[in-house]
């Protein structure tokens, strides 16, 4: 490459050159120079934290045609292509040096080969366009949790999303050490159609060179593939956390109120479309984050922050009665970006919104009408199941005031949940930290959903809901979690949740809003205010404790019939699940901690002993005797 400083001077205007040089960091200068030489943009815009620069990003997102305005002031919408509607596992790979190996459960290829391929696709991909350079922070800027990140993209839509989702950090970068390592992300939407949609999706690539903390993304616009600070950065922070002794997790954080107005912070890991955002957004509680959390031990406390500052949420089934906070944001003036919804008369519509929807309009497939079919003769829905909205957390009335606390918040509970139609009860508490990490985290089994490209409804193991994002051995990640609470005075309690348990007729055993009661029960358990029933898989609520909670939260009578339906221990289904989990660990997690096998064996033994005494299906009332 040409001399870095000379190339930057040649390609940048004097103003943008000065802005970049104010960030005195060798790694950043080299990354930007390489990105310019590789992609060949017509101009480079170095975005600072100024209001003028942020406004320019918003303005250009619309002027470029990547976003279009809606009727409500501040609201815009964007469409990704029909084959670019979710995180693409097949196109997302770790670039692994010849001398290293990752778990075979992770998608990967040899580093030199991968770099040659993705850089070949990126070559001259920005010709005739602007490169937008963003300086952003994961975690509160300037905090012990902060991870500095630089993104270069040719998509004003991506840059606009990042304004809402992350902390701008140009001022912090101006104080950065010359040799400080940063995460670097290079993205190009590639060839675009007249509608400003990536067209070369067969050559979509999202490759992660973890040896250089650099991610390359090309021929895609979907946020999970393009916003580097999202799940792509999570893969890098997991490696950094492993090296430095902290944890980076795929979790929400919320503040839950208890008796006397006390507030207790809980975090939760759920695969996409399994209830994570809706749990984080429970009415009457506070939200600190809905997707990615960092954990550190600070002065003997388990402390947590939200890596992000906004929400890139799934909009399907957002209804006024179920999600009042989000509903208000989506219907009132303010900055919101809608993705892959239906638009008619400049109004947005989505699946499961609880209101009448039009029979025609415009969506990700172009002009749409009811009954329209794709090339495979499959009917196209009015909006995509994975349609999204982007908002900043501070726009929410219940945004937690500790969002920017540089030392985070004390965490008292952690929950793991997925779509388990057959085995797990709606809520249960682990016997201890290690039992919870193994039984509810490292054993997390869930049905696949529309948030990931591929077949839906397939049961799969998804360790801690983070397996797709691990760039360290799975066994080491589990070990890191088990060992993390050493030296912590009061480790968080661990809970398993399952909002998707079905009865024999295939109907859900609980209503969608019931999760609020399960969370309230957790809060009471953390403070020792209620008891629990010990069962083979953990500790479950007592009926007499749930009755007042349902009355308090919903003014609803909670019946014994509902309780039995929800909290009956299904012995055959749980034993079958343990067999699948153990098989998965033996085949896919070499060196999985012995605690995993010991815990599964102990649970198996308890289930068999309970079956001998009570039968295959055990009423919680029998266990309470």
d(CA 597, CA 594) in angstroms, rounded, equals 5
Over the stretch 169-182, which tens digit does the pLDDT of each residue have? 999 999 999 988 89
Structure-block tokens of residue 90:
């097949």
147: left (phi over 0), alpha (psi -120 to 50) or beta: beta
> Which pLDDT score, from 0 to 100, does residue 453 have?
46
For residue 40 the two structure tokens come to 């060949």
Q: Residue 583: which residues within 8 A CB-CB, separation 6 or more?
A: none
Return phi, psi of residue 624, to 5°.
-80, -10
Pairing of strands 130-138, 43-46: parallel
Q: Which CATH class is domain 4-65+87-245?
A: alpha beta
Question: Which residues in the chain land under pLDDT 70?
Answer: 1-2, 448-458
Distances from the Cα of 365 to the Cα of 176, 259, 524, angstroms? 45, 50, 48
Contact 444, 276 (CB under 8 A): no
Burial tier of 44 (Cβ tally within 10 Å: 0-12, 13-18, 19+): buried
The confidence score (pLDDT) of residue 451 equals 44
Mean pLDDT (the chain, rounded) = 94
- Closest by CA to 246, choosing from 294, 198, 183, 291, is 294
Alpha helices in 201-300 (DSSP H): 223-226, 231-244, 276-280
Say how many C-beta atoms besides its own lie within 10 A of residue 42's C-beta: 12
Tally Cβ neighbours within 10 Å of residue 350. Answer: 26
Give the number of other Cβ atoms within 10 Å of residue 328's Cβ: 14
Residues annotated as catalytic (active site), given as ranges: 274
CB 33 within 8 A of CB 4: yes
The tokens for 248 are 């980076």
Architecture of domain 312-395: Beta Complex (2.170)
Domain spans in the chain, listed from the N-terminal domain onward: 4-65+87-245, 248-309+401-624, 312-395
CA atoms within 13 A on the CB side of 353: 22
Topology of domain 248-309+401-624, per CATH?
Answer: Phosphoenolpyruvate Carboxykinase; domain 3 (3.90.228)
């Amino acid at each position: 490459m040409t001399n870095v400083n000379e190339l930057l001077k040649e390609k940048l205007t004097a103003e943008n050159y000065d802005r970049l040089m104010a960030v005195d960091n060798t790694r950043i200068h080299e990354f930007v120079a390489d990105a310019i030489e590789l992609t060949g943009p017509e101009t480079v815009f170095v975005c600072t934290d100024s209001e003028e620069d942020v406004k320019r990003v918003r303005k250009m997102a619309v002027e470029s045609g990547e976003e279009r305005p809606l009727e409500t002031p501040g609201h815009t919408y964007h469409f990704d292509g029909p084959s670019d509607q979710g995180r693409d596992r097949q196109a997302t790979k770790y670039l692994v040096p010849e001398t290293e190996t990752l778990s075979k459960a992770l998608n990967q290829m040899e580093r030199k080969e991968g770099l040659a391929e993705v850089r070949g696709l990126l070559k001259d991909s920005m010709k005739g366009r602007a490169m937008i350079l963003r300086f952003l922070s994961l975690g509160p800027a300037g905090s012990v949790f902060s991870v500095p990140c630089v993104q270069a993209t040719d998509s004003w839509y991506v840059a606009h999303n990042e304004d809402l989702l992350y902390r701008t950090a140009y001022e912090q970068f101006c104080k950065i050490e010359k040799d400080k390592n940063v995460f670097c992300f290079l993205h190009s939407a590639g060839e675009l159609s007249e509608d400003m949609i990536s067209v070369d999706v067969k050559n979509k690539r999202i490759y992660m060179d973890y040896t250089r903390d650099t991610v390359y993304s090309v021929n895609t616009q979907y946020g999970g593939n393009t916003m580097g600070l999202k799940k792509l950065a999570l893969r890098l922070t997991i490696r950094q956390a492993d090296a430095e002794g902290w944890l980076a997790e795929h979790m929400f954080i919320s503040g839950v109120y208890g008796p006397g107005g006390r507030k207790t912070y809980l975090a939760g890991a759920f695969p996409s479309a399994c209830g994570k955002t809706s749990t984080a957004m429970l009415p009457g509680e506070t939200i600190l984050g809905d997707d990615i959390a960092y954990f550190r031990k600070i002065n003997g406390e388990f402390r947590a922050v939200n890596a992000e500052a906004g929400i890139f949420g799934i909009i399907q089934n957002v209804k006024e009665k179920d999600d009042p906070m989000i509903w208000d944001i989506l219907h009132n003036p303010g900055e919101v970006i809608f993705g892959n919804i239906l638009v008619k008369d400049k109004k947005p519509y989505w699946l499961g919104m609880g209101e009448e929807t039009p029979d025609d309009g415009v969506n990700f497939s172009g002009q749409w009408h009811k009954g329209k079919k794709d090339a495979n003769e499959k009917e196209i829905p009015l909006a995509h199941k994975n349609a999204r909205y982007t908002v900043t957390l501070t726009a929410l009335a219940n945004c937690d005031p500790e969002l920017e606390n540089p030392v985070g918040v004390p965490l008292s509970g952690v929950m793991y949940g997925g779509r388990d139609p057959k085995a797990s009860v709606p809520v249960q508490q682990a016997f201890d930290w290690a039992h919870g990490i193994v039984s509810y985290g490292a054993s997390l089994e869930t049905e696949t959903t529309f948030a990931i490209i591929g077949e839906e409804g397939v049961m799969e193991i998804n360790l801690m809901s983070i397996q797709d994002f691990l760039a360290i051995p799975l066994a080491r990640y589990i070990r890191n979690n088990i060992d993390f609470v050493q030296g912590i005075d009061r480790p968080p309690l661990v809970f398993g949740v399952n909002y998707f348990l079905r009865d024999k007729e295939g109907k859900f055993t609980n209503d969608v809003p019931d999760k609020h009661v399960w969370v309230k029960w957790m809060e009471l358990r953390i403070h020792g205010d209620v008891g629990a029933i010990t069962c083979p898989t953990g500790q479950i609520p007592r009926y007499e404790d749930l009755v007042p909670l349902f009355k308090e939260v919903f003014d609803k009578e909670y019946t014994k019939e509902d309780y039995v339906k929800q909290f009956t221990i299904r012995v055959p289904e749980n034993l079958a699940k343990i067999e699948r989990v153990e098989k998965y660990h033996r085949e896919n997690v070499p060196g999985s901690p012995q605690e995993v096998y010991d815990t599964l064996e102990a649970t198996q033994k308890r289930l068999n002993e309970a079956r001998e005494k009570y039968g295959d299906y055990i009423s919680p009332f029998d266990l309470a005797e």
